[in-house]
Amino acid sequence: MKKLRLYVDTSVLGGIFDTEDPRRVNSAGLLLRSIKDGIYEGFISRLTIEEVFEAPERIRQTLQARISEVGFGILEETVESISLAEAFVVNGAIPEKYRDNARHIAIGVIHDLDYIVS
């Protein structure tokens, strides 16, 4: 049986640091373990990595270690994904202030992944 291919955005990775919602911490941890254990194929993008680099030092170090440990595939933005993200914003599907969310979604769509997890 083919494994589900998941695009995991930065908000999921940040979920492991949620001090207000232990369910979010547990859900994020379970998803990351499931990818590491090979239940799902997990992917992030260069955009995700850029966002991780913007995090405070302690969080950045932990996230970099988790990304490496889990073994995500790394996806690149393409001309098509950039164009699709722009179309999401221009056509009002995603507000301008959430442009990076449009980019995450477009990357997952263009790379033909099964689900975008956010």
Spatial separation of the C-alpha atoms in residues 30 and 43, rounded to whole Å = 16
Summarised one tens digit per residue, pLDDT across range 51-71 is: 999 998 988 999 999 999 999
Give how many domains the chain has, as a whole number.
1
Q: At what angle do helices 79-90 and 99-110 cross, to 10 degrees?
A: 130
In DSSP terms, which residues pair with 42 in a beta bridge? 6
CATH number, domain containing residue 111: 3.40.50.1010
pLDDT at 67: 94
The DSSP secondary structure of 3-33, one letter per residue, reads PPEEEE-HHHHHGGG-SS-HHHHHHHHHHHH
Q: Residue 20: helix, strand or coil by DSSP?
A: coil
The model's confidence at residue 18, banded by pLDDT at 50, 70 and 90, is confident
Question: 66 is in which domain, residue-wise?
Answer: 5-117
For residue 17, is pLDDT > 90? no
**Whole-prediction pTM value?**
0.91
